[in-house]
Chains A and B, each alone.
Chain A
Amino acid sequence: MIAELGLALLWIAAALACLSLVAGALFLRGGPKDLATLVRPASVAQGVLTAVAFALLIALFVRSDMSVELVARNSNSLKPMLFKVAGTWGNHEGSMLLWLTILGLSGALIAIFEKRLREDTLVATLAAQAALSLGFFAFLIFSSNPFKRLPVAPPDGQGLNPLLQDPGLAFHPPTLYVGYVGLSVAFSFAVGALITREIGPAFARTMRPWVLGSWIFLTLGITAGSYWAYYELGWGGWWFWDPVENVSLVPWLAGAALLHSVAVTATRNALRAWTVMLAVIGFSMSMVGTFIVRSGLLTSVHSFAVDPERGTFLLVLMAVYIGGALTLFALRAGSVAEGKKFALLSREGSLVINNLLLTTILALVLLGTLYPIVAEAMGEKISVGPPYYNRVAGPLALILCLVMVAGPLLAWRKDDGKKLWSRLPLAIFAGAAVLFALILFGGKVGILPLLGMTVAGIVAVASLAPLWGRNLRRTPLPTWGMVIAHFGVAVCLAGMGAESAFIKERLVAAAPGDVVKVDDFAVKFVGVKPIAGPNYTAIEGTLIATTPSGQSFMLRPEARTFPGLMGTAPTETNEAALLTRPGGQLYAVLGQPVPSDDGTADRYQLRLWWKPLVWWIWLGGALIAVGAALSMLGRAQLLAIWRTRRTRKAQERFAP
């Protein structure tokens, strides 16, 4: 019954989305006011019902109801509970339902909490959000029904790809989805504001927390995904420039540009048309990403579950939404009057340059990702790899960082070049110090890591400059947010540079008792033993790493074997062991046994890496997210209301 109820709820929710769209459209064309009052409750109900349907799907997975096709294909009764739950969205249908749930819930949140916008703009926004949902409801119900029953229930399911059975991956896709869908809200706001021609600071301030929120989740999702690839795949890399990675980076770049331009629109009422355009681009990029991953148009080492028919459906949806929004933009952009003036050397000017650079990087990454498709259409099969991306994105990212140094130190509207230089000596000194230290003691360092670490030094010092001479307790939260996020970029950059410049690697065939030197560590290979996990068996190696000061640490890398289910071949995975130290991480992978020909003790392949400062990459990502979160908190209406109430109370108390 659960599955049938779930499907019924989806249909009702779709009908409610239809109602919101029609009622909203009629109201906006001059219909009775009652229609507008319908839209809010319909949006809330739609979100709640979709969420309940998603909860029912989770329940089916938890109960291992094998009569449902999706469960039978993607779950197994022997799986640990966390992965049964995560299995719900670890597949195409489930993840689309999750997407719709987040879309519906964010619509509900707008309907409940948004009080700043004019009523007609709000109705237009909710109608746009309903139109988005409706397309995805159609996609889900007609082409990928998650609640489909099997005529005969199999005794047990096929399970989930063992590589995906990892807590990191259980939470990584939902995080990214919240980010993607948050951008859909910005898109709906942009469409709503274009329809009612209300584009100005009020609209920008309303959109801003949504942009920040979605960007926080995108940042966390990408950071977590990178860390997952780093420790789970056993290859020790943290960025691959794979199409699937790129399509999450592209909306992140659009979001980064948008949150800077929306700041200009909100505070200075400038860059209005550009902000609206970016909001449209941002969500378009998340749709392009979903389309690429789902359609199988691009093969990627991360690809899973591809189906051309679904690809076509998504392509049509994409054409309708993006094409519709762009047409609307073209019709209305002219009526969006020019904003306030500013000089080139000003905060606004630096943000314009920031936006230009971010969108250029976006375009270059997208070009590299899509180029193979175009080339294939012209009869040539090629593939674009890391050398391309490093060459185009690396230099631009470094220039972007230098703009980031200057931007926060410039005044709004107009500033003086000489004054800017007078604010920078400490930062330039820091950069020079890093550069000299690297040249003197660093040995042979590649040009990109060298520049990266130098710029990191400049950015780290300069990012703290806005706090200079301020009362730290009275510094507004958004300023703190900016400082922390920019500092996070420096930390991230330093980690990337140090890791690629100073990585040390040892690859050995070690017998029990052997000691391997890697950087300052003496790593002793104690031996291996077989162990059993909940649904796998494994060989576990024991390593003892000793520092020069005599401290010892245990590392236990594993080579796991998952039994093949329902006739499939068994799968093997590597679990790397990580030792995190202040200066970096020691990374150990256990390989295959090396057969001995003289009958002595078996040796094992062992790969050891010393990765200096590598964890700074993810620390930097986390700091960026924390900074954005502080900025969002500082701008949230709730906090402002709470503050004014408190000050009012305090004033009342001291009133004569």
Chain B
Amino acid sequence: MKAKHQRLILALVALVGVGGAGVLAASALRDEAAYFRTPVEVAAGKTEVGEAMRLGGMVAKGSIVRQADGLTIRFVATDGKASVPVEYKGIVPDLFGEESGMVADGRMRGDGTFVADRILAKHDERYMPPQMGDMPKDMKAAPKA
């Protein structure tokens, strides 16, 4: 094979590879990029039941209710405009509490409850997901109990 052909083949391989990766990335981004949702978006019906997503919001004051099994908690996540009931079975991470920011992985159930598989741990109590930047200032600055 001549060197010229060879370079051509290599360039084609590279092109196909990069093109394929681009298509893969574009389709994955379209399907999965709307990964983070706020309660307003949930209320607006932007989410589908059963789709993997991340929910961010503030834990509403006085909303944490423990269930009899000692493991499941229910609370309300809010962004000041809308609220979503959340159910979580497990050990809540450090820095989780009422009136503090909360981010959870999980999916919506048919009855409108968000079932969390995991509530995310944070390094820092100042952490705030960018999507929650629109929340009223006084809610963000709410002192922890």
Q: Give residues in A with beta carbon < 8 Å to B.
A: 161, 163-164, 233-235, 299, 301-304, 341, 343-344, 349, 352-353, 356-357, 360, 363-364, 367-368, 371-372, 375-376, 381-385, 387-388, 391-392, 395-396, 507-509, 569, 571-574, 589, 591-592, 594-595, 603, 605, 607
Contacts and interface: CB of A to CB of B under 8 A. Distances in A.
A341 to B, nearest CB: 6
A391 B130 CA distance: 24
Contacts of B1: 343
A569 B142 CA distance: 13
Contact of B21 (A302, A349, A364, A371): A364
A341 B32 CA distance: 43
Interface residues of B, number: 48
B48 interface: no
A304 B124 contact: yes
Contact of B123 (A302, A372, A569): A302
Contacts of B24: 364, 391-392, 395
A384 B32 contact: yes
B10 to A, nearest CB: 7
A569 B144 contact: yes
A385 B89 CA distance: 22
A398 to B, nearest CB: 13
A356 B52 contact: no
B4 to A, nearest CB: 11
A590 to B, nearest CB: 8
Interface in B86-143: 89-95, 103, 105, 118, 120-125, 127-131
Contact of B29 (A235, A301, A371, A569): A371
21 contacts: A163-B94, A235-B120, A303-B124, A343-B6, A344-B13, A352-B10, A353-B13, A368-B25, A383-B36, A387-B28, A387-B32, A388-B29, A395-B24, A507-B90, A569-B144, A574-B94, A591-B91, A591-B92, A594-B70, A605-B70, A605-B91
A395 to B, nearest CB: 8
A392 B29 CA distance: 9
B50 interface: no
Contacts of A161: 123-124
B65 interface: no
Given A163-B123, A234-B121, A303-B124, A392 B21 contact: yes
B18 interface: yes
A95 to B, nearest CB: 15
A299 B29 contact: no
Given A343-B6, A368-B25, 4 more contacts: A381-B36, A387-B35, A571-B94, A605-B70
A388 B21 contact: no
A382 B33 contact: yes
B111 to A, nearest CB: 22
Contacts of B17: 356-357, 360
A301 B121 contact: yes
Contacts of B105: 385
B3 A299 contact: no
Contacts of B103: 301
A507 B89 contact: yes
Contacts of A592: 91-92
A381 B36 CA distance: 8
Contacts of A376: 130
Given A387-B32, A391-B24, A344 B70 contact: no
A382 B108 CA distance: 18
B25 A364 contact: yes
A607 B21 contact: no
B122 to A, nearest CB: 5
Q: Which of A301, A304, A383 has the most CB of B within 10 A?
A: A383
Contacts of A382: 33-36
B14 A356 contact: yes
Contacts of B43: none
List of 5 A-B pairs having minimum Cβ-Cβ separation, nearest first = A594-B70, A383-B36, A509-B70, A591-B91, A385-B35
A131 B133 CA distance: 39
A372 B130 contact: yes
Given A353-B13, A388-B33, A391-B28, A574 B120 contact: no
Given A233-B121, A235-B118, A344 B90 contact: no
A376 B28 CA distance: 18
Interface in B7-45: 9-10, 13-14, 17-18, 21, 24-25, 28-29, 31-36
Contact of B128 (A234, A299, A381): A299
A364 B20 CA distance: 12
A396 B25 CA distance: 11
A592 B73 CA distance: 12
A509 B71 CA distance: 6
Given A372-B130, A592-B92, A344 B35 contact: no
Contacts of B122: 301
Nearest to B24: A392
A280 B9 CA distance: 26
Contacts of B13: 344, 353, 356
A371 B33 contact: yes
A361 to B, nearest CB: 8
A161 B127 CA distance: 13
Nearest to A236: B118
B31 to A, nearest CB: 8
Contacts of A507: 71, 89-91
A161 to B, nearest CB: 6
Nearest to B124: A304
B32 A388 contact: yes
A99 to B, nearest CB: 20
A375 B71 CA distance: 38
Nearest to A382: B33
A592 to B, nearest CB: 7
Given A161-B124, A356-B17, A385 B70 contact: no
Contacts of B34: 382
A388 B28 contact: yes
A303 B1 CA distance: 53
Contacts of B32: 384-385, 387-388, 391
